[in-house]
Amino acid sequence: MTTVPVLIALSAILLISWAIFARRRAGHRYPPGPKGLPVLRNAFDVPTQDGWRVFRDWSRRYGSDVVHAEALGSHIVVLNSLKSAKDLLEERPNIYSDKEQSVMFLELCGWWRSWVMLPYGNSWREHRKLFHQSFRPQNVSQYHPQHVLAQRRLLQLMLDHPKDFSENIRFAIGSSILKAVYAVDATPGDLHLRVVENGMETVQHVLHAGVFLVDIFPILKHVPIWFPGAGFKRRAAGYKKLVDEMFKAPYYEYKSAFKEGTAHPCFVGELLSEAEEDTPERDDIFMNVAGTGYGAGIDTTYTAMMVFVLAMVLYPETQSAAQEELDRVLGRDRLPEFADQDSLPQVVALIYEVLRWNPPLPLATPHRAMSEDHYQGYYIPARSVVLENVWAIMHDENVYPNPDTFNPHRFLTYDGKLRDDVPFPDDVFGTGRRSCPGRYFAMDSLFLLISGILATFTIEKALGGDGEPIEVRAEFEPHFFSPPKPFKAVFKPRSAEAKRLIQSCAILAHDG
């Protein structure tokens, strides 16, 4: 019986909202998009999966690189071209540097701790400054030893457990982040990894669930947790415990060792060493800056690595070309190092193509317009959700011909050098002031892991029970992160020498 008044109240809110927003629409020329229905507008047009493809198709249908939708008064503006993304997110940062604030995800589930999602302002600037001082291009090389260790561990895991390549890759990436941020020397399946991975799983659970009513009507966040229909609050409370533990546990563990003088150098150590005071407020900032390092880095880098494996299975000729270059530059008696990067344009081009072919985040995290704006003769209301369609930008046929084909040579000249007239797929990390702050750490990780695998293994299709290769398709998850759908692959050592090289380097990594 208690649901009847609630339904009546919601219906009244819908009608009032429709009247208000219908009045506001009058006289404004929004970017083109589906016509929609009365009251609900485009509630049934806005996609919940594969949005990047749908929005790209809207651009083609309406002849505009900027498209628009509206649902219950929320305006959504999608930027489907590099030009529109640069024009707005980069050239007008005073309007588009804010982030959309989800009540369910950020406030109730506790992901407000991730500073990359903070509203634009002084708090965001303070967090960014602390993170940037260690992860900017000039300083990120201090974490090269962590990447080297991760590379050697990954190769040994691939040798010992080749069928578990997905788990091996995720461990290598996660362990390098934990080592850099908290000086944690993680082992597969240990407590540190379980804590941070449990926190990260909440991201997928919430974002895959679709739109929560509390994000449309924020007043519902005040509903008691026991109230009928408040299951979202009970769910959020469980997630919040996991998110809090992800941010707090490794931070306070390190701080305790730091006070005792037994801590090893790392990012958190730098923060604590330079702190002028020791207060709960300062701890909150430090733990949030540090925890964001894992949260922002693990799924994006993991997705890119899985796309790499899939591409090698589907396009073996690109694998062979990169391996020929590695053999020519390195020989067969050592693993790739960061100093080799400038001498390996084929490998670098392959990494560029991995990022372009299927960006880890096909739609960048949503921006929010801080004031109304006009662009290309269209009106963009204040508080509009602004989405950069990274996938559409990376699949622009005018910039990248035959974009659905994996082709690293698009970045190379005829004599094998990197081209300067084809854009590096930089926008996979976002555009403007809110672009990914860990991009340089991520690129270092991708280079050393991918080049190490190519130097020592050949990736092939797995064989079925009948001895025939199992067919693999270029299919990707249609969610916030877009890794390949599950597939099988085989990692074979390229030679007996490659196997011995892996084992000898693994011994050195263990001893170090």
Expressed in angstroms, the distance from the first to the final Cα of the chain is: 67
Structure tokens given for 407:
């082709």
Listed in order, strand segments (DSSP E) in 345-488 are 367-368, 373-375, 378-380, 385-388, 457-461
Tell me the per-residue pLDDT of 82-93, one tens digit each, with 9 for 90 and over: 999 999 999 999
What span, in angstroms and rounded, lies between the C-alpha atoms of 502 and 509? 10
Residues across the chain? 512
What span, in angstroms and rounded, lies between the C-alpha atoms of 300 and 246? 18
Three-class SS of residue 461?
strand
What secondary structure letter does DSSP report for 103?
I
pTM for this prediction:
0.92
Longest dimension (CA), the chain: 76
What does the pLDDT average to over 231-252?
96
Higher pLDDT, 189 or 81: 81
Tell me the per-residue pLDDT of 382-421, one tens digit each, with 9 for 90 and over: 999 999 999 999 999 999 999 999 999 999 999 999 999 9
Residue closest to 84 by CA, chosen among 440, 505, 506, 380:
380
- The pLDDT of residue 213 is 83
Q: What is the Cα Rg of the chain in Å?
A: 24
Contact 110, 244 (CB under 8 A): yes
Domains (ranges, CATH) in the chain? Answer: 3-511 (1.10.630.10)
* Residue 150, pLDDT above cutoff 60: yes
Tell me the per-residue pLDDT of 305-350, one tens digit each, with 9 for 90 and over: 999 999 999 999 999 999 999 999 999 999 999 999 999 999 999 9
For 77, the enclosing helix (H) or strand (E) is strand 74-79
Q: What angle do CA 422, 425, 431 make, to 5 degrees?
A: 120
What span, in angstroms and rounded, lies between the C-alpha atoms of 243 and 111? 7
266 labeled part of a ligand binding site: no
- The pLDDT of residue 4 is 45
- The pLDDT of residue 7 is 47
Q: What average pLDDT is seen over the chain?
A: 92
